[in-house]
């Protein structure tokens, strides 16, 4: 069976001390309360990564991730962080292609394909985000958008590398808006994503790929979303900043 994952994306929230106290609450609750095989991932700002990885050491149920990485291995890119650096502090995941990176930092599919290569080459697992805007959905272009984000962003990978990916479907209109995709809307796209993966690779790869839903996911709506056959967990924004809510979402898979 494929892995169930609940990943928190703190975005640009939490100063250093706030982040450490949030994480220590999360880790204690996960230790005490999570009984299933699911993986919790906390994707913090860069400044927390090393400390969080130290705190989570030896505890396999919690992994640490970054929210971005530069496409180059190293060099004169003032202000940037490389995949090798992220790996060196003990993080294992990197969110790539979040809609906020696409929208505010001009990241397109071609750039994200390069970032994916670099992140994989450094032994990290990308959580690769895709999703349509409201205008695209209203124009009934959502399937085309998903198709091209996959084709141009990750389908250049060989099977072994692709198998390291986690895919996250985050409809842009559901992010931070309080409007969640219905479980039927989300399932429809997740099934489509799995079908595209099967067509590009094969049924085994498609069957093993973890596909997360993100967008106004909370402890109330997570059980119904995660009960859908092609939804393998969530990428959680706002609710991941509250330890109780985040761990309650992780516990949906208990
Ligand atoms: O963007 C998201 C996670 O990456 C979702 O954010 P919200 O859960 O705050 O809608």
- 8 CA to middle of ligand 1, Å? 8
Distance separating alpha carbons of residues 139 and 133, to the nearest angstrom: 10
Token duo for residue 249? 């979402």
Whether ligand 1 lies within 6 angstroms of the CB of 170 is answered as yes
Whether ligand 1 lies within 6 angstroms of the CB of 249 is answered as no
Structure letter (DSSP) for residue 75: S
Say what the pTM is: 0.98
Whether ligand 1 lies within 6 angstroms of the CB of 97 is answered as no
Pocket test for ligand 1, best of 237, 239, 245, 248 (most atoms within 8 A of CB): 237
Give the pLDDT confidence score for residue 115 in this predicted structure.
98
Give the pLDDT confidence score for residue 54 in this predicted structure.
98
Whether ligand 1 lies within 6 angstroms of the CB of 67 is answered as no
- Contact between 226 and 234 under an 8 Å Cβ cutoff? The reply is yes
Across all residues in the chain, what is the average pLDDT? 97
Q: Which atom of ligand 1 is nearest to the CA of 11?
A: 4
Q: What residues are labeled active site?
A: 98, 170
End-to-end CA distance of the chain: 15
Is a pLDDT exceeding 90 seen at residue 158? yes
Q: Domain spanning 5-253: which CATH class is it, in words? A: alpha beta
Give this complex's ipTM.
Answer: 0.99
Residue range 208-227: average pLDDT? 98
* Secondary structure of 34-70 in HEC code, one letter for each residue: CCCCCEEEEECCHHHHHHHHHHHCCCCCEEEEECCCC
Residue range 8-24: average pLDDT? 98
- Contact between 52 and 79 under an 8 Å Cβ cutoff? The reply is no
Distance separating alpha carbons of residues 107 and 120, to the nearest angstrom: 18
Residue range 111-121: average pLDDT? 98
Rounded-to-10 torsion of CA 152, 153, 159, 163: -150
- 33 CA to middle of ligand 1, Å? 24
Give the pLDDT confidence score for residue 1 in this predicted structure.
78
Is a pLDDT exceeding 90 seen at residue 125? yes
Residue 75, burial from CB neighbour count under 10 angstroms (0-12, 13-18, 19+): exposed
Strand ranges for 89-237 from DSSP E: 93-96, 125-130, 166-169, 211-214, 233-236
Residue range 37-46: average pLDDT? 98
Residue 15, burial from CB neighbour count under 10 angstroms (0-12, 13-18, 19+): exposed
Whether ligand 1 lies within 6 angstroms of the CB of 8 is answered as no
Is a pLDDT exceeding 90 seen at residue 179? no
What residue segments make up the domains of the chain, in order of their start?
5-253
Give the pLDDT confidence score for residue 9 in this predicted structure.
98
- 237 CA to middle of ligand 1, Å? 3
């Amino acid at each position: 069976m494929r892995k169930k994952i609940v990943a928190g994306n703190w975005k640009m929230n939490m100063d250093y001390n706030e982040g450490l106290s949030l994480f220590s609450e999360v880790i204690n609750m996960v230790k005490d309360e999570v009984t299933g095989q699911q993986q919790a991932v906390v994707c913090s700002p860069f400044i927390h990564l090393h400390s969080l990885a130290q705190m989570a050491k030896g505890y396999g149920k919690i992994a640490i991730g970054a929210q971005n990485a530069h496409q180059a291995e190293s060099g004169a890119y003032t202000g940037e962080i490389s995949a090798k650096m992220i790996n060196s502090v003990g993080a294992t995941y990197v969110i790539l292609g979040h809609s906020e990176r696409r929208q505010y930092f001009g990241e397109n599919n071609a750039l994200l394909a390069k970032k994916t290569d670099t992140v994989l080459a450094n032994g990290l697992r990308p959580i690769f985000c895709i999703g349509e805007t409201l205008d695209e959905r209203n124009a009934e272009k959502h399937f085309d958008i998903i198709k091209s984000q996959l084709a141009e962003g990750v389908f250049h990978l060989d099977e072994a590398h692709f198998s390291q990916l986690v895919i996250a479907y985050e409809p842009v209109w559901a992010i931070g808006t309080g409007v969640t995709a219905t479980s039927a809307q989300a399932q429809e796209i997740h099934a489509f994503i799995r079908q595209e993966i099967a067509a590009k690779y094969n049924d085994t790869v498609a069957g093993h790929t973890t596909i997360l839903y993100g967008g106004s996911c909370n402890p109330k709506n997570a059980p119904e979303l995660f009960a859908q056959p092609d939804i393998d967990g969530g990428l959680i924004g706002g609710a991941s900043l509250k330890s109780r809510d985040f761990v309650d979402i992780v516990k949906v898979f208990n």
